[in-house]
């Protein structure tokens, strides 16, 4: 199908508007991830972008192109995260009033960040759809200008500037992997890349629990999912855009999906091995490469790390789970006599083996604990997996009943 909505020249024009506003983000070669992926991996670090995500590119490009009359009415957006901050920052930069609608469950840090960029934040409804509906009502009442997060040519053109940067930083790139929510990011990046070199493969990635573009592509028409369920909240979109769907059909070679488990493990590895903090939606591209969802063996591959604004509660869980998976943290349950000095004796075993206890819980009232006994659950850090067996063996020597939980 022909693309009559967006041209390569629109992306080049966006790049000029963004000069001095958005950063030309680093393209970082990763030896560790190259080995793990059997490819030559270069990470495009949009998590280091102004406002912590790529969204500022599209938001600023859109706002910079508003008429004086549109700008004077103020701008409105609905977002649980990165689009909100991109619009708020851009509006302040351009001297416009911005009002952002966010669901009531939005993490407080994201609300504070959006307010910090100069926006008025209105919390409305329990879901993004509720916040979106409230934003539409507000626009009608106040005659304000609505800024869509992805289904807009100027938004897409702004995001496409990343494609220009990737090609400039690595002209011999073979594969570019891009996260997909509503499709604004990959639409712009794919158009830019394909116009410069149609032989470069562009791969889209969605979370298994929010695979609206993946499903729509397979069905050859736009499909709205009844629900979405993923830790990658930044790409949890029920329905792709009309414009983005058409652009994806034309310019994207393949779409794959990754599970929440794969996303979480990738986020942990990026933090631990590369010292890169990225949000779940932002690491889906690297997850696709790491878990070999598409053929990239021996290729120069650029996974686009789209954002770094992670919920601290999710980060804590990701680190916890990652340490367990790598054998760096374990949890055991031990039954000890409920007598004075027995807990001290138990802890002395860990002290003698130079084990660092992370958390400890003591329980005697639940039905599974025999009368006269106490259950102690100990979570501890390991230098390597073999240390776990040392603990188990030492407990057995003391005739203590123990179970490894994780």
- Hey, which residues are catalytic here? 55, 306
Can you tell me the distance from the alpha carbon of 187 to that of 10, in angstroms, rounded to the nearest whole number? 13
Comparing CA positions, the residue from 212, 216, 168 lying closest to residue 193 is 168
Residue with tokens 């367990």: 324
- How distant is the alpha carbon of residue 336 from its chain centre? 43
Exposure letters 137-164 (e unless 16+ CB within 10 A, then b) = ebbeeeebbebbbbbbbbbbbbbbbbbb
Residue with tokens 């860990």: 350
Structure tokens of 164?
């220009």
Instruction: Show the CA angle centred on residue 309, arms to residues 215 and 239, nearest 5°.
Output: 20
Q: How far apart are the first and last CA of the chain?
A: 52
Can you tell me the distance from the alpha carbon of 317 to that of 310, in angstroms, rounded to the nearest whole number? 12
Which residues, other chains included, contact 399 with Cβ-Cβ below 8 Å and sequence gap of 6+?
none
Can you tell me the distance from the alpha carbon of 59 to that of 159, in angstroms, rounded to the nearest whole number? 9
Structure tokens of 344?
């001290």
């Amino acid at each position: 199908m022909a693309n009559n909505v967006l041209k390569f020249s629109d992306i080049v024009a966006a790049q000029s508007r963004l000069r001095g506003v958005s950063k030309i983000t680093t393209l970082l070669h990763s030896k560790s991830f190259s080995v793990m992926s059997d490819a030559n991996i270069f990470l495009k670090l949009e998590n280091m972008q102004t406002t912590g995500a790529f969204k500022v590119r599209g938001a600023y490009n859109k706002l910079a192109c508003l008429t004086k009359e549109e700008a004077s009415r103020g701008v409105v957006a609905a977002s649980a995260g990165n689009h909100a901050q991109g619009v708020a920052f851009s509006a302040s930069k351009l001297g416009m009033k911005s009002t952002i609608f966010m669901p009531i469950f939005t993490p407080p840090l994201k609300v504070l960040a959006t307010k910090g960029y100069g926006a008025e934040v209105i919390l409305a409804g329990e879901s993004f759809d509720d916040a979106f509906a409230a934003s539409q009502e507000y626009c009608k009442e106040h005659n304000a200008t609505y800024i869509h997060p992805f289904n807009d040519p100027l938004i897409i053109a702004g995001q496409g500037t990343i494609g220009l940067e990737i090609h400039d930083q690595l002209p011999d790139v073979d594969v570019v992997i891009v996260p997909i929510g509503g499709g604004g990011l990959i639409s712009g990046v794919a158009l830019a890349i394909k116009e410069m070199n149609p032989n470069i493969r562009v791969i889209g990635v969605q979370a298994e629990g929010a695979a609206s573009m993946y499903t729509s592509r397979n069905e050859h028409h736009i499909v709205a999912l009844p629900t979405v369920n993923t830790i990658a909240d930044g790409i949890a979109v029920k329905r792709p855009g009309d414009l983005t769907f058409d652009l994806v059909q034309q310019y994207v070679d393949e779409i794959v999906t990754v599970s929440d488990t794969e996303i979480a493990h990738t986020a942990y590895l990026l933090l631990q091995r590369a010292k890169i903090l990225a949000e779940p939606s932002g690491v889906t591209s690297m997850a696709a490469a790491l878990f070999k969802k598409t053929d990239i063996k021996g290729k120069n591959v650029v996974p686009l790390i789209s954002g770094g604004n992670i919920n601290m509660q999710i980060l804590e869980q990701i680190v916890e789970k990652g340490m367990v998976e790598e054998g760096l943290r374990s949890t055991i349950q031990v039954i000890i006599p409920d007598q004075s000095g027995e807990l001290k004796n138990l802890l002395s075993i860990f002290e003698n083996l130079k084990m660092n206890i992370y958390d400890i819980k003591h329980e005697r009232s639940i039905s599974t604990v025999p009368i006269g006994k106490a259950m102690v659950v100990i979570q501890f850090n390991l230098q390597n997996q073999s240390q776990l067996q040392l603990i188990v063996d030492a407990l057995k020597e003391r005739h203590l009943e123990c179970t490894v939980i994780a």
